Homo-oligomer: A and B are copies of this chain.
Amino acid sequence: MKFRRSERLIDMTNYILEHPRQLISLTFFAERYGSAKSSISEDLAIIKETFEQRGIGTLQTVPGAAGGVKFHVKVSDEEARPIIDDLCGLIANPDRLLPGGYLYMTDILGDPSIVQKVGRILASAYSDAKIDVVMTVATKGIPLAYAVASQLNVPVVIVRRDSKVTEGSTVSINYVSGSTKRIQTMVLSKRSLEEGSNVLIVDDFMKAGGTVNGMISMLEEFKANVAGIAVLVEAEKIEERLVDEYLSLIKLSDVDVRDKKIKVSEGNYFRRRK
């Protein structure tokens, strides 16, 4: 069966988007469509150009006999800014205020299209970095962690508050919650993380950073490396931040329970990202 260029471009686009950060050889596509490698090369040049122009990502060309292309998600600042602005608007809605000054964010984190956009933005900051695993803590960070990990083509590892029979042997650590100063426990299945892994920590919310700090301690137990820390929302006005190097999309500057006002602004994403 022969394929026209238009059909190849559509199918290749789908295939490439589904296989980020994986080397796809020219041979693979040539055989898939019964086409000459020279035609495939031309197709890929058109896809690369369009992906870059439309802010979808980049196609890295790997030369040589074993060569091919690798897709890296890249969200441009012009695309990221309105997404972050919209999120700020959503979060600033005073209906989110809960007793104790907490914010209801379940609807935002429950919307797969928002989660995927945030995942693409965060992943694009690390798409060239050496990341082997994304780590998060149950429960709220999980969807974001998967959204980032799927763009980086790495597995997700979930730290839990309690151990379960279906996790096998676990490693447990104690850590101090940054804001309430209480001692808490987190556990991770022993076989879920290999020694020496480069780990990107992802979470939905960071206050003083106690939980993130706990995950860093957990990585030490596993002799794994912190390759980055990325959160959706960071709370400002924290007396003592336990974590220094992190990326945040949104900053929660003030929650005024009495006047029902929530102040949010852009996080450090555009400044911090290299």
Interface residues of A in 155-206 (CB under 8 A from B): 155-158, 160, 165-168, 189, 191-192
A60 adjacent to chain B (CB < 8 Å): no
A191's nearest neighbour on chain B, judged by CB, is B104
A138 adjacent to chain B (CB < 8 Å): yes
B112 near A146 with CB under 8 A, answer yes
B167 near A106 with CB under 8 A, answer yes
Q: Which residues of B contact A217 (CB under 8 A)?
A: none
A-B contact pairs, 6 of them (CB 8 A): A6-B46, A7-B46, A11-B56, A112-B146, A112-B155, A142-B143
A235 adjacent to chain B (CB < 8 Å): no
A14 near B156 with CB under 8 A, answer no
Nearest-CB distance from A9 to chain B (Å)? Answer: 5
A153's nearest neighbour on chain B, judged by CB, is B113
User: Complex: how many Å from CA A102 to CA B165?
Assistant: 7
Nearest-CB distance from A274 to chain B (Å)? Answer: 24
Classify the secondary structure of A's interface with B.
Answer: helix
A148's nearest neighbour on chain B, judged by CB, is B112
Please report the total number of A residues contacting B with Cβ < 8 Å: 56
Q: Which of B54, B113, B138, B155 contacts A14 (CB 8 A)?
A: B54
Q: Which residues of B contact A51 (CB under 8 A)?
A: 10
User: Complex: how many Å from CA A132 to CA B47?
Assistant: 35
Q: Which residues of B contact A165 (CB under 8 A)?
A: 98-100, 102
Q: Which of B10, B139, B157, B168 contacts A47 (CB 8 A)?
A: B10
18 more contacts with CB within 8 A, not counting A112-B153, A139-B139, are A9-B10, A10-B10, A10-B13, A10-B46, A10-B54, A11-B54, A11-B56, A13-B14, A14-B17, A106-B166, A107-B155, A107-B191, A111-B155, A112-B155, A115-B150, A139-B142, A139-B160, A143-B143
Nearest-CB distance from A254 to chain B (Å)? Answer: 18
A149 adjacent to chain B (CB < 8 Å): yes
Q: Answer whether A158 and B146 are a contact pair too, CB < 8 Å, given A17-B17, A56-B14.
A: no
Q: Which residues of B contact A103 (CB under 8 A)?
A: 166
A257 adjacent to chain B (CB < 8 Å): no
A106 near B14 with CB under 8 A, answer no
Q: Which residues of B contact A146 (CB under 8 A)?
A: 112, 115, 143, 146-147
A116 adjacent to chain B (CB < 8 Å): yes
